[in-house]
């Protein structure tokens, strides 16, 4: 599933190809390509010119020369790619935006991704209003985020994935950040010291920024950038997908546990089981 570094890689790639261009023709090829909450059909954006491509967490949107935006989420397997006009259609092609010599294509094998037309408030699409800024957003407030995390009476792994607390962190980078900060995924957020939460947020920002430099992680072949290339970051993952292999810090075997329907990978020695009371 694409996380912040992958979505940001896509945003940067799209920006190079679509900014200043007009949607000359729009074709919707699958009904699930359009979000149920879309306020208009996608083809109502015909003749709109793209001003900018923006992102918050895992949501992307195209700012247009009109009040509405084209907003999208890649879901599990969505791809937004640029192809030259007339290139053969992909098997799971769901929507096509003709820009001129190039086309913006939305491809989605598992159809959990979507595009929609939305209005905005303070520059943020309505469906993104409940999403908290991610650590790369100029509006990100560290002190506010730390208090929000410590106010959650829940396991830290679950809190890291809560996009209304801090956005952008998904399962892979949550496991990597917890390993870097030596925090067990089941540690209660309310028992963590502020300094530990700050260290965890910096680890999350650090690991996502390294992944971004590598063009994202593509562990399941479904994530590709706009030119159809995969990222290389999976070579740098320390715990995710490494169950039974040695910890890169201490050699102990990496363990995988499941809670809240997600796999969590951690080192039992570097990330010891939390005590039930007192500060961690
Ligand atoms: Zn270890």
Ligand 1 centroid to 193 CA: how many Å?
21
- List phi, psi (to 5°) of 63: -80, 130
Ligand 1 centroid to 19 CA: how many Å?
46
Flag whether 255 is in a domain.
yes
Domain end point (choices 128, 155, 178): 128
Ligand 1 centroid to 53 CA: how many Å?
40
Flag whether 133 is in a domain.
no
Domain end point (choices 82, 98, 128): 128
Q: What is the model's pLDDT at position 228?
A: 57
- Same domain membership, residue 160 and residue 120: no
CA distance 145 to 160: 11
Domain end point (choices 90, 105, 128): 128
- Same domain membership, residue 155 and residue 105: no
CA distance 69 to 60: 10
- Same domain membership, residue 202 and residue 115: no
CA distance 244 to 242: 6
Flag whether 209 is in a domain.
yes
Bridge partner list, 28: 95
pLDDT in tens, 163-190: 999 999 999 999 999 999 999 999 999 9
The CATH number given to whatever domain includes residue 241 is 1.10.8.50
Q: What is the model's pLDDT at position 227?
A: 58
Ligand 1 centroid to 248 CA: how many Å?
7
Sheet holding 25-28, edge to edge: 25-28, 93-98, 102-108, 78-84
CB atoms within 10 A of CB 21: 17
User: Total domain count for the chain?
Assistant: 2
Flag whether 160 is in a domain.
yes
Q: What is the model's pLDDT at position 232?
A: 55
Ligand 1 centroid to 239 CA: how many Å?
10
- Same domain membership, residue 80 and residue 157: no
- Same domain membership, residue 75 and residue 27: yes
Flag whether 66 is in a domain.
yes
- Same domain membership, residue 98 and residue 169: no
CA angle 148, 154, 160 (to 5 degrees): 60
Domain that holds residue 195: 142-266
Flag whether 231 is in a domain.
yes
- Same domain membership, residue 168 and residue 124: no
The CATH number given to whatever domain includes residue 113 is 3.20.190.10
Sign of the torsion formed by the C-alpha atoms of 122, 128, 129 and 132? negative
- DSSP summary character for residue 124: E
Flag whether 171 is in a domain.
yes
Q: Which residues contact 231 (CB under 8 A, 6 or more apart)?
A: 5, 6, 9, 211, 214, 215, 216, 217, 218, 223, 225
Per-10-residue mean pLDDT for the chain, 280 residues long?
A: 86 92 96 93 97 95 98 91 92 95 92 95 95 94 97 96 94 95 97 97 94 67 53 74 95 93 94 71
Concatenate the DSSP letters of all residues of 169-186 into one string: --HHHHHHHHHHTT--TT
Flag whether 76 is in a domain.
yes
CA distance 259 to 157: 9
- Same domain membership, residue 27 and residue 85: yes
- Same domain membership, residue 146 and residue 124: no
Would you please indicate which residues are annotated as catalytic (active-site) residues?
A: 2-3, 58, 262
């Amino acid at each position: 599933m694409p996380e912040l570094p992958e979505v940001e890689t896509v945003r940067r790639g799209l920006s190079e190809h679509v900014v200043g261009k007009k949607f000359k023709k729009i074709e919707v090829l699958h009904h699930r390509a359009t979000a149920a909450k879309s306020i208009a059909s996608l083809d109502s954006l015909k003749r709109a010119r793209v001003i900018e491509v923006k992102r918050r967490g895992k949501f992307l949107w195209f700012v247009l020369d009109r009040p509405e935006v084209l907003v999208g989420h890649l879901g599990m397997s969505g791809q937004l790619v640029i192809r030259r006009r007339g290139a053969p259609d992909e098997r799971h092609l769901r929507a096509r935006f003709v820009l001129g010599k190039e086309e913006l294509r939305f491809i989605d094998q598992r159809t959990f991704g979507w595009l929609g037309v939305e209005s905005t408030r303070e520059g943020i699409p309505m469906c993104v209003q409940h999403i908290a800024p991610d650590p790369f957003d100029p509006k990100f407030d560290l002190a506010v985020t730390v208090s929000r995390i410590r106010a959650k009476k829940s396991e830290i792994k679950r809190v890291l994935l809560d996009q209304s607390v801090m956005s952008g962190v998904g399962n892979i980078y949550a496991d990597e950040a917890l390993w870097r900060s030596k925090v067990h995924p089941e540690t209660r957020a309310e028992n963590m010291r502020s300094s530990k939460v700050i260290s965890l947020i910096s680890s999350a920002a650090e690991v996502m920024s390294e992944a971004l430099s590598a063009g994202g992680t593509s562990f399941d072949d479904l994530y590709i950038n706009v030119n159809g290339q995969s990222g290389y970051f999976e070579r740098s993952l320390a715990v995710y997908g490494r169950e039974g292999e040695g910890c890169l810090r201490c050699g102990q075997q990496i363990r995988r546990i499941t809670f809240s329907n997600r796999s969590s990978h951690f080192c039992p020695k570097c990330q010891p089981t939390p005590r039930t009371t007192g500060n961690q």
